A and B are shown apart, each in its own frame.
Chain A
Amino acid sequence: MSQWFLKGIKKGIKTEKNFDDKFKPDYPSRLEGKSGYNCPVNAIKNGEWDENKCIYCGKCDLKPTKDEKIYKINDKLPKMFKKSLYIYPLDSGTCGACNAEFNSIFYPQYDANRFNIFLSNTPRHADALLLMGVYTEKMHDVMIDALDAMPDPKIIIGFGSCALSGGILGSSINEKFNVEIAGCPPDPYTIISAILKYKGGVK
């Protein structure tokens, strides 16, 4: 195993100190401008754009700004979680893209662990439940069980258009979220930015 260790050391530090902005995707990101597009998910109504409903399909005239701050913080983080936050992801009915993007915040480029954001393997040890995907009947009880298993105080994070508004595929999970992270799927820049903002971090 020492060989692997040396090979790892030889590669040097790969984590980006300041995230490389040139790789921020156009979609999803904050959209601006005006559009008369007949949006299939009603994300544009009376000229107002709703980031939670938007599926960032690029079909309307609104322009992407690459601004990753497409999230809402609905309350204050309990003090005890300021130092570390353990998150348990729960897939209610995703296409798989939300799952992949959430996992990518732990990849070397982003290394969310350095911001004291951790993945929990069980709701029993989790501070936050991250819900993603559309509502599905059979996952409803699983979600309730996971919430019951979590110690108090518990945080619920709504993740992606499907969980927040139903997106284009179904209905939303319909929970009261402490944090709402928009995107279809939310990209790592948005996810880390949202969680750090909630934790009172730097991003």
Chain B
Amino acid sequence: MQSFNKKTGRYIGRYKNYDVYSNEIVRISEENKEDINKKLPGEITFNYGPSAGGLEESVNFNIITPGERINSVRVDSSFKRRNIKILNDSVDSALLKVERINGYHSASNSICFLLAVENALNIENGESNNKRIIEIELERIRSNLHVIKCLAESAGFSIPEKQLSYLIEDVSRIISTVFKHRYFFGANYINDVNGNFNNLNESILKIKNEFMVIYQDLLTSKIFMDRLQENGTVRDMNSTGPAARASGYNYDARLDSSSLYYESYKIFTGSSGDVFSRFMVRSDEVFSSIELIENTEIKENESKNKYDLNKSGTGYARIESPQGDLFYHVDIKDGRINDILMVSPSYLNIKLFEKAMPGNIFTDFFFVWESFGIWISEKEVNFI
């Protein structure tokens, strides 16, 4: 694995003993031990999880509190750590596993991995660029709708929650119609995407119109706004994705990474860095993703090359997944995965959640957690 001593570019995250910056990978001597917060007199430790109602995935929260106010939270995501045997696999076999690192963001993971492989083996991939953008933007729409649905659920707003659930299912059905699978499994190949893109714009327009109504209704609800504003505020230069943009940082791999080419894209930023700001950025990005899909021209691949993958090389890719920067670095030897490094946005988002929570009260907990859109499955992966 490549390693350098300097730190250049913005911080993306960590995998094992490597810190990844947008321009460098830095080997660190050992994984930093997490600070253990000490309890003050009158404080108790409240354990929530790893399996409990309200949690979509298995994760444990260690909450230090004197009562209602939360003074500190530590997230233990290690319960569902998966050892994924991928080293020495062929690229095709490894892809089946990469698709299942985070099923909800399978398109982002598969495409980022394939871009890294194509980079390593010097494979020209321009023909599939637009199809890949459509895939990732469809995934982003569903993912952002899911986060907004969870915020409505946390506020006890059952009607918008069900309306958003309805839209999420509609997007899943669109994905299934185009790619034959509701989570893009089996859709991605080296420099190719298997999908039928006819009628996609028509279906996506319905989502846009329906979401516009729900979004405007939510913005007119003072109760909903009150639950989100000044809740879970965080501003940290080491942040990523919608959470970074909501606090004013214009970080976005769609513009500052060359792995996937976006012709034009306007970044939406907020300034307050609270749950409301993250809600606004995600909502704006639902509309911008729909616009990107509408304006992206699909051309069938002219070259149906069978690529020779029995080669060697090292490559990397970084793309903007729905929750932030996703990074893959692969080392391939004679067509087999010799080494692989993956940094998911959930690494930084968990750290941001831990920073955002102190000072808030228990009823704010789910708003703050859901607003980062964290997926434990992508954080707890150990490649062997």
Contact = CB atoms under 8 A, between A and B. Distances in A.
B101 A95 contact: yes
A25 B176 CA distance: 6
B214 to A, nearest CB: 9
A42 to B, nearest CB: 13
Interface in B64-117: 78-84, 92-93, 96-97, 100-106
Size band of the A side of the interface?
Answer: 35 or more
Interface string A78-104: 000000000000111111111111011
A55 B82 contact: no
Nearest to B101: A95
A121 B168 CA distance: 22
B202 to A, nearest CB: 15
A107 B377 contact: no
Nearest to A9: B159
B157 interface: yes
Contacts, number: 154
Contacts of B17: none
Contacts of B333: none
Interface in A127-177: 133-134, 136, 138-139, 142, 146, 167-170
Which among A23, A98, A170 has the highest number of chain B CB atoms within 10 Å? A23
B175 to A, nearest CB: 9
A107 B163 CA distance: 9
A65 interface: no
B358 interface: no
B50 interface: yes
A185 B82 contact: no
Interface residues of B, number: 52
A164 to B, nearest CB: 15
A58 B102 contact: no
A93 B80 contact: yes
A47 interface: no
A97 B82 contact: no
A156 B160 CA distance: 33
Contact of B185 (A7, A100, A184): A184
A37 B57 CA distance: 34
B166 interface: yes
A7 B218 CA distance: 12
A120 B182 CA distance: 26
A188 B168 CA distance: 13
Contacts of A133: 80
Contacts of A91: 51, 56-58, 80
Nearest to A121: B53
B259 to A, nearest CB: 23
A136 B104 contact: no
Contact of A139 (B50, B54, B100, B172): B50
Given A107-B165, A168-B96, A169-B97, A146 B83 contact: no
Contacts of B226: none
A12 to B, nearest CB: 12
A159 to B, nearest CB: 13
B34 interface: no
A26 interface: yes
A25 B169 CA distance: 13
Contacts of B173: 23
Interface string A103-131: 11011111000000000111000000000
B103 A4 contact: no
Contacts of A184: 100, 185
Contacts of A138: 50, 78-81
A101 B80 contact: no
Given A121-B54, A168-B97, A98 B159 contact: no
A8 interface: yes
Interface in B335-384: 375-378
Nearest to B79: A138
A178 to B, nearest CB: 20
A57 B53 contact: no
A4 B53 CA distance: 26
B51 A146 contact: yes
Contact of B183 (A4, A40, A97): A97
A69 B133 CA distance: 34
B120 to A, nearest CB: 22
Given A136-B81, A185-B183, A99 B166 contact: no
A4 B182 CA distance: 30
A8 B100 contact: no
A139 B51 CA distance: 9
Interface string B37-55: 0000000000000111110
A58 B51 contact: no
Contacts of A106: 165
A136 B79 contact: yes
Given A26-B181, A185-B183, A168 B81 contact: no
Q: What 10 A-B pairs come out closest when comparing CB atoms?
A: A121-B53, A97-B103, A95-B103, A58-B186, A26-B180, A107-B165, A25-B176, A8-B159, A4-B159, A95-B100
Given A91-B57, A97-B104, A99-B56, 7 more contacts: A98-B103, A108-B165, A136-B79, A138-B79, A138-B80, A169-B97, A185-B183
12 contacts: A27-B185, A58-B181, A94-B57, A95-B101, A95-B104, A96-B102, A103-B56, A108-B166, A134-B82, A138-B50, A168-B97, A188-B169
